[in-house]
Amino acid sequence: MDISTIIIYPAIAVIGGIIAGKYLFSSNRVSKLEAEKAAIEAGRLELKHQVMELIKEKSELENIVAELQKKVSKYESKDLILIKYEFSNTWGTWEHKSSKQLICTICVNKMPPIEQPLQCKTEHDCQCPECDESYQNNEYYRNRKIDLGQNPIHRSDNI
């Protein structure tokens, strides 16, 4: 055996040992990383499950809130409705302050109150589509009776 063989074999053995050690270290490290990755994935799946449960619960709560809002809106106070209106002696019902739309007095007094607009057939006759109550322009009919001489207060023979 010559000297080069004596030096080369141990050097190869040392290098092989270093490589084997690094391989074992890196494979051990890879195994640890894979275990951490699996743990993270399990945690992620658990969080995903929790998020799905929370989304489901949120949806159920939103449905409950919507249902309660619907129930509450049915019982809107008559006073809250009538704030927007003033009573019209001409029609004997409520008239919107800005739009002049008439609403049915009977329907607004129901429980729950209904803000039902009247449908006018003519300038002096309106009807509620909900309860069929009729409303007439009192001034029109009062003036018409006077013109026909049917109002006893204004007839000349009662003076």
At 5-30, the pLDDT tens digits run 666 766 777 777 777 767 666 667 77
Same domain, 42 and 69: yes
Out of 32-36, 123-127, 132-136, 152-156, pick the least confident: 152-156
Burial 54-85 (b: 16+ CB within 10 A, else e): eeeeeeeeeeeeeeeeeeeeeeeebeeeeeeb
Q: Given 20, 55, 74, which residue is the final one in a domain? A: 74
- Long-range contacts (CB closer than 8 Å, 24 or more residues apart) made by 131-135: 131/104, 131/106, 131/107, 133/104, 133/105, 133/106, 133/107, 135/91, 135/92, 135/93, 135/102, 135/104
Res. 72 pLDDT band, cuts 50 70 90: confident
pLDDT tens by residue, 118-130: 999 888 899 999 9
Residues 45 and 68 in one domain: yes
Instruction: Kindly give, in sequence order, each residue whose CB lies less than 8 Å from that of residue 75, ignoring residues fewer than 6 positions away.
Output: 111, 112
Q: Determine the structural domain holding residue 36 and report its residue range.
A: 1-74
Number of domains observed in the structure of the chain: 2
Domain boundary among the residues 25, 45, 74 is at 74
pLDDT tier at 73 (50, 70, 90 boundaries)?
Answer: low
pTM above 0.85, yes or no: no
Q: What share of the chain is helix, strand, coil (3-state, %, to 5)?
A: 60, 10, 30
Query: Is residue 138's pLDDT more than 90?
Result: no
